[in-house]
Structure 1
Amino acid sequence: MPPAALPAGARPRQALARWTGIAAIGLAALGVDTPARAGTWGLCDAPAPISATDQDRMLRFAAVVKQVLDASGQRVALISRSGLDLSRFGVRYSHAGLALRPDAAKPWSVRQLYYTCDESRPRLFDQGIPGFLMGRDDPSQGYVSIVLLPAPQSDALERTALDQRTALELLAADYSANAYPFSTRYQNCNQWVAELMASAWAPAGSADRAGSTQPSPRERAQAWLRSEGFRPEPIGLGSHGVLFAAHFAPLVHVDDHPRDDLYALQMRVSLPTSLETFVHGRLPGAERIELCHDRRKIVVRRGWQALGPGCEAGPQDDSIPLDP
């Protein structure tokens, strides 16, 4: 059965969107004890329930995110959120999608790639902003990054994202949380977004440079990304033990990564920062808005300078109190 899209507004019972390969490898290296189910180390288990207070805080945070999107006047944005604490790898954001609102009478939703655990396959899924933000491990603090695009690129990306045939053609049959960006063997959630952007922005005829007489849509997208300077920074694994653990981590693969990278104890993986760096360098008119919350406040920052740890507001940031 070919990859397919989950119906808009549906909620998969067991779906995996918050894990990156770095997260899974990190869990293996740290020996994190999670309940095993179907060989997935608990990565496909239902998320732990959160308190009513935490849920209320996250819903209020989601409302501010929607207000920021509404105020932008746009119908599409690149949106990323934090998930598992990956600070030891220098990673804040783990999962990206496209926030879409083609009809002003309807709410914003995020089109994204999920790994559906029940079916053991990747699917595309439209999810409301609150649900998108609920996919975090720590409800007491979280970060969201929104990138707004200039009109020509924004319009092209919206058309491509809403074209179900194109979106599904770019969806790989096999998922790997740490998929190598320039191989079609696997795919992760952020790489699907990267290839969708490529399909939207590549000029007609650029597919002829993909190095194949009949390149697939994914090959064409990856060839354009490479030619345009899409270069995800290597993630240092730190030790041979981490690399060894990767061979046994569920939903993680190493057979698509260049051998030289593995010998150097690093992996190049598409992360939200990879997408944002590419957009920032290619589209000078792109704007970035970063939001965070802790138990006391929400902070909103406009500009490409990232918020620091601890969700502390700077002099130019907006700070919105959260009632205890």
Structure 2
Amino acid sequence: MRRALGIAALLAACSAVPAHAGRSCEDKPITQKAFSDAMAAGLGLQSALEASGADVALVARQGQDLSKYHLKYSHAGLAFRPVPGQPWRVYELLNDCGTADSELWVDGLANFFLDDPFTLDVLVMSPPPKVAAHLKEMLADPATLRRLHQLKYNMVAYPFSTKYQNSNQWVLEVVAASEASDVRVRTREQAQGWLKLAGYQPTEMNIGPLMRLGGRMFKANIAFDDHPSALRFSDRINAVTVDSMQAFLQSREEGWRVQEIKGPR
């Protein structure tokens, strides 16, 4: 079951508004094949997570085709189980369809693949033991997770601004708070400051002026006013991507393990 963290979770309520990670708002019924494929992909992910030996991992799916930006995986979440033997869940930030609002959600592994993904491939990044222990503590504390959450959603949020937030940015900031062993990170500002000092480099993408203008005018969940003027007016944006997270975490040489799992065809 998908449920929101916070008040809605305490009431065990489900949102009546579809939630998406930067996808369209088409309300299409789930086909039997889509359901079966999602179940198979979820089982494959579960097997990989069980084999990792950890109880937490960063996972990413190919929700949409980003090949024109030379990217594959578009959306990340944090897979977690409180203790061995309990079901795995995926903690993720999703925006309320058609709006500029977001919420934190808890999904089952199969649900992670039900949002009409481009493929059912999945990337698993397993943290080293020390980081895994910190991540487990954070994911068991909804209040801590919400301190690192910004309600205002922006699909192309600037990585070093707290005005908006997108799905990957929330994951990265939670991971940053878990990685920061020398300081205690409690806010988004502190997480972003630590990422700068640690050398995180976002992905830079070139976008045309029409795409920038069209996104700002016609999409509630796309804005560019948090990006530095030098980037905006040269039709460039910086964003947190799965690729940039993987490059950053592996560059730290702490022992992050990366595995790609091909989904059912």
Tell me the TM-score normalised to structure 1 length: 0.74
Contact 1:12/1:116 (8 A) holds in 2: no
Cα–Cα, structure 1 residues 120 and 18, in superposed 2: closer, same or farther, change >3 Å? closer
Larger radius of gyration: 1
Tell me, yes or no, if the aligned pair for 1:149 and 1:285 is still in contact at 8 Å: yes
Cα pair 1:173 1:186 within 8 Å, conserved: yes
- Rate the CA distance shift 1:287–1:137 in 2: closer, same or farther, 3 A: closer
Preserved CA contact (<8 Å) 2:99 2:221: no
Aligned residue runs from structure 1 range 66-77, under 5 A: 66-77=46-57
| Equivalent residues of 2:63, 2:75 under 8 A apart | yes
SS of 1:113's equivalent in the other structure is strand
Partner of 1:35: none
Alpha-carbon distance between aligned partners in 1 of 2:14 and 2:61, rounded to the nearest angstrom: 18
Structure 2: segments with no counterpart, 5+ residues:
none
RMSD, matched Cα:
2.3
1:74-85 mapped onto 2 (5 Å cutoff): 74-85=54-65
Partner of 1:108: 88
Q: Deviations over 1:181-221 (max 9, x none)?
A: 000100011111111112122234476xxxxxxxx711111
Aligned 8 A contact 1:6 1:126 in 2: no
How far apart, CA to CA, are the structure 2 residues paired with 1:280 and 1:226?
Answer: 16
Deviation at 1:62, TM superposition (A): 1.4
Q: Provide the residue aligned with 1:151 in structure 2.
A: 129
| Residue type of the alignment partner of 1:274 | S
Equivalence for 1:92: 72
> What SS does the aligned partner of 1:63 have?
helix
2:165 paired with 1:184: no
After superposition, the Cα gap between the structure-2 partners of 1:205 and 1:74, relative to the gap in structure 1 and judged at 3 Å, is closer
SS at match of 2:87: coil
Q: Which blocks of at least 5 consecutive residues in structure 1 are unaligned?
A: 24-42, 208-215, 296-324
* Corresponding residue number in structure 2 for 1:57: 37
From 238, 242, 247, the counterpart of 2:216: 247
SS in 2 for 1:172: coil
Paired position in structure 1 for 2:176: 198
Distance in structure 2 (CA, Å) of the matches to 1:119 and 1:88: 26
Structure 2 CA distance, aligned partners of 1:148 and 1:133?
A: 19
Instruction: Work out the CA distance in 2 between the residues paired with 1:49 and 1:104.
Output: 34
Aligned pair 1:221/2:191, yes or no? yes
Structure-2 change in CA distance of 1:188 and 1:93 (3 Å) = same
Q: Name the CA shift for 1:103/1:206 in 2 (closer, same or farther; >3 Å).
A: closer
- Seen in structure 2, the aligned counterparts of structure 1 residues 104 and 294 have a Cα distance that, compared at 3 Å, is closer
User: Kindly, what percent of the aligned residue pairs are identical?
Assistant: 29
Alpha-carbon distance, 1:10 to partner: 5.8
State the 1:223 CA deviation.
0.2
Q: 1:112 to 1:7 in 2, by over 3 A?
A: same
The letter for the 1-side match of 2:227 is H
